[in-house]
Amino acid sequence: MGQEIDLLVNYPKTKRNVDERGQSKTEEDRRIARQFGKEFFDGDRRHGYGGFNYFPRFWQPVIPTFQAHWGLTPNSSVLDVGCAKGFMMYDFTQLIPGIAVKGIDVSQYAIDNAVEDMKPHVQVANATKLPFPDQSFDVVISINTIHNLERDELAQALKEIERVKRKGAYITVDAYHTDEEKQRMMAWNLTARTIMHVDEWKAFFKEVGYTGDYFWFIP
C-alpha cells in the first residue's frame, strides 16, 4: 500500500462554518446535490459549490507538489477521476506543457461546461468502469470523489484505478479520527455515501488491493 501524504498541502485553505452548514443541510439538499447537475455546481450554495469557476490560485500551487512527488515530465500522462470541469487538468497543461491529461466525471453538466481547452480530453464515465485500457496512465488522481460511491462500488473504483495506472495514484476521501470529527463530517457532508475512520479506510485499501497514496478530507 502507498503512503498517507498530504499532497494538497499548498491548496488554499478556506474558512468553513461547519456547524452552521450542518444545521442548514437537509436530506432534500443532499438529494439534489447527488444529482451532480447544474444545481450542484452553479446553483444555490446549500446544494453544492454555489458557483464552480476556474481560478488559477487553487490548483496551480498544487501541481508542482504532484510533479515532484512522481517526477512528472512533458512525456507523462495523468488521469483525473472526478474531473468536474477540468480545472486541475488545465493547470497541469499550463505548468507542465506537453503532459497528456484525461478526465472522467459522472456529471454531464460538468463535462458540457468544462474548460474549453479540456473538452477534447474529458468524458462522462463512472469510476467503477474506467473507459481505458490497462496501465494507460502514469498517474491516476481522484480528489474527494470516490467516497460518493457505496462501499462495494468504491471497492470496484479502487480496483479500476489500480488497473489503469502504471506508476502511482492519489486519492482523498472523507474521513475522521475522533467522534467529534465524525459528527462534524456527518453534518457537513452533502454527497459522500462512504465515510470511515482513517484506520477503517487503511484496512479497506489493503483489502481491495489499492497500492496508491492517500489522504483525508476533514472539515
Which phi-psi region, left, alpha or beta, contains residue 90 (left: φ > 0; alpha: ψ -120 to 50)? alpha
As a whole number, mean pLDDT of residues 92-104 equals 98
Higher pLDDT, 52 or 16: 52
The pLDDT assigned to 17 comes to 55
Residue 46: pLDDT band (50, 70, 90) is confident
CB neighbours of residue 53 within 10 Å: 9
Asked if pLDDT for residue 16 goes beyond 90, the answer is: no
The pLDDT assigned to 25 comes to 78
- Length of the chain, in residues: 219
- Superfamily the domain 18-217 falls into: Vaccinia Virus protein VP39 (3.40.50.150)
> Which residues on adjacent β-strands are paired with residue 139?
78, 168
* Distance from C-alpha of 149 to C-alpha of 156, rounded to nearest angstrom: 10
Domain boundaries, the chain: 18-217
Asked if pLDDT for residue 188 goes beyond 90, the answer is: no
CB neighbours of residue 203 within 10 Å: 12
* Distance from C-alpha of 72 to C-alpha of 31, rounded to nearest angstrom: 39
Global pTM reads 0.94
> 460511491: which residue's cell?
149
Asked if pLDDT for residue 21 goes beyond 70, the answer is: no
Q: Which three cell numbers stand for residue 87?
A: 480545472
Residue 218: pLDDT band (50, 70, 90) is very high
Spatial CB neighbours of 71, under 8 Å, sequence gap ≥ 6? none
What's the mean pLDDT when you consider all of the chain? 94
CB 192 within 8 A of CB 147: yes
